[in-house]
Amino acid sequence: MINPFVTSDGSFNRETNLMTSSTKPPSYYEATAIGRIDRPPLDGDARADVCVIGGGYTGVSAALHLAQAGRKVILIEAERVGWGASGRNGGQLHSGQRLDQEELERWLGEGPARALFDLAEEAKQLVKGLIAEHGIACDWQDGLIGTLHKRRFVAGTRAHVAHMMERYGYAGLAYLDRDELAAAIGTTRYHGGYRDATAGHLHPLNFALGLALAAERAGVTIHEGTRALDISGQGPMRVTHARGTIIADDVLVAVNGYTSGLLPDTEARVMPIHNYILATEPLGDRGRRLIPGNEAVADSRFVVHYWRPSADGRLIFGGGESYSKDFPNDLKGFVRRHMLSVYPDLADVRIDFAWGGTLALTRTKMPVMRRIRPGLYTSGGYQGHGVAIAALAGKLVAEAMVGDSSRFDLFANLPAPKFPGGRWLRYPTLVLAMFWYGMLDRL
């Protein structure tokens, strides 16, 4: 099996990993973007306290918080703000970490697990607070429903809801039996689930664009179309781009799944895969009857299905991953098959948009936040929890850069193993693993 992300000599292949804007199909989010402005590339040299590489949630949040702390910040983005996963995802804001609390407790012990839950709760409040503070028009909506695609998951989910109430005092969760769930999401496909009242969903690109505008008002300089080519030096560091060099005391590499060869050791711990989403035509009353509470929904599959109503009454549905450099030829048909497995009655509905993007997996299902060396930071690998955790990661990196790394270190101290197989075999190993888990989803 060929790894499209590395060349024949085992080195990183920039061209196949980073699609350009012209090669990606248009998204519903881009068609309904608010606050999209052109930001010119950086032409020549520059000096800043901090250089942030990457214009997604992590990078823009870090830049905003650093500027508010008095730092001079330059942010460079190879494409456009929100071009990657931050502007292409399902728009769902979840509670907790990607691992359930019970799994974190078994792995780390109750104290660290509780600290990580508290940070995840802060992440949700951070997103909501940023939206309110900066007046970001991103269609925030409370409510998220989790669904169980296998009957044997019911007992564990009931226990999890009780555990979160009794051990953590978290009252936001409520178990839904099969009939309650069917009434809430308009399908009998699932065996039960839960409602999370304090989670929710939003327009992800408009959230990213609103954060960028807030960062610029705080003093951040943002340059689009400016790809970092190399990072060298220490105290200060030199970030080389095509038309010059940025000198900065601190650097954050926040590119998530769009790895660029800048940090090879970190890239061995974060694996990019493609994921795909569609948006139907506006469904009107039919859509309102489908999900009467207007919540987002995500199921229990390893290769997860997730969906939500948009502000203009469409169904936005995500499902299906691929591991080659190219998107499926019939992207609408590819995702539509997944949608119809949940909602066969929507077979007559027109699909107006279908698009994809790259997310990042880690072996532990926890993000990789690391201090590579003094002054050089990175964060990525959010695995579907990026709306909340990536925004929080930017804040934690900013805290560390201004002198308090205690909260950043809660993540930085987590094990972050490399994918097995080195340059040659790590990608085929992941594909085999994802194929295996996909089979288990269907059994």
Can you give the chain as a three-state secondary structure string? Answer: CCCCCECCCCCECHHHHCCCHHHCCCCHHHHCCCCCCCCCCCCCCEEEEEEEECCCHHHHHHHHHHHHCCCCEEEECCCCCCCCHHHCCCCEECCCCCCCHHHHHHHHCHHHHHHHHHHHHHHHHHHHHHHHHHCCCCCCEEEEEEECCCHHHHHHHHHHHHHHHHHHCCCCEEEECHHHHHHHHCCCCCCCEEEEEEEEECCHHHHHHHHHHHHHHCCCEEECCCCCCEEEECCCEEEEECCEEEEEEEEEECCCCCCCCCCHHHHCCCEEEEEEEEEECCCCHHHHHHCCCCCEEEECCCCCCEEEECCCCCEEEEEEEECCCCCCCCHHHHHHHHHHHHCHHHHHCCEEEEEEEEEEECCCCCCEEEEEECCEEEEECCCCCHHHHHHHHHHHHHHHHCCCCHHHHHHHCCCCCCCCCHHHHHHHHHHHHHHHHHHHHHC
**In-domain check, residue 1:** no
- Domain containing 220: what range? 14-439
Q: Model confidence over 199-213: pLDDT tens digits?
A: 999 999 999 999 999
With pLDDT > 90 as the criterion, what percentage of the chain qualifies? Answer: 77
Residue with tokens 């669904």: 147
| 434 within domain boundaries | yes
pLDDT band at 437 (very low <50, low <70, confident <90, very high): low
Ranking 165-174, 314-323, 378-387 by mean pLDDT, the lowest is 314-323
Q: Dmax of the chain from CA atoms?
A: 62
On the question of pLDDT at 383 being above 90, the answer is no
In this predicted structure, which of 92-96, 210-214, 419-423 has the lowest mean pLDDT?
419-423
**3 located within any domain:** no
Q: Among 165-169, 203-207, 264-268, which stretch is predicted with the lowest mean pLDDT?
A: 264-268
Model confidence at 426, pLDDT cuts 50, 70, 90, reads: low
% of the chain with per-residue pLDDT over 70: 88
Contact present, 20 and 79 (Cβ < 8 Å): yes
Closest among 256, 296, 265, 267 to 391, alpha carbons compared: 256
The answer to which of 22-36, 38-52, 303-317, 382-396 has the lowest mean pLDDT is 22-36
Would residue 6 count as lying in a domain? no
pLDDT for the residue numbered 18 = 38
**How does pLDDT run across 290-310, given as a tens digit for each residue?**
999 999 999 998 788 999 999
Report the amino acid identity of residue 68: Q
pLDDT of residue 272: 82
Per-residue pLDDT at 275:
87
At residue 320, the pLDDT reads 79
Q: Among the listed ranges 107-111, 131-135, 439-443, which one has the minimum average pLDDT value?
A: 439-443
pLDDT beyond 80 at 411? yes
Residue 294 lies in a domain: yes
Per-residue pLDDT band for 384 (boundaries 50, 70, 90) equals confident
- Residue 177 within any structural domain of the chain: yes
Residue 7 lies in a domain: no
Report whether pLDDT(5) > 50.
no
Q: Provide the domain count of the chain.
A: 1
Instruction: Please state the rounded mean pLDDT for residues 213-218.
Output: 98
Mean pLDDT across 175-204: 98
The rounded mean pLDDT for the chain is 90
Here the CATH number for the domain that contains residue 248 is 3.50.50.60
How many Å from the N-terminal Cα to the C-terminal Cα in the chain? Answer: 25
Which whole number is the average pLDDT over 157-168?
A: 97
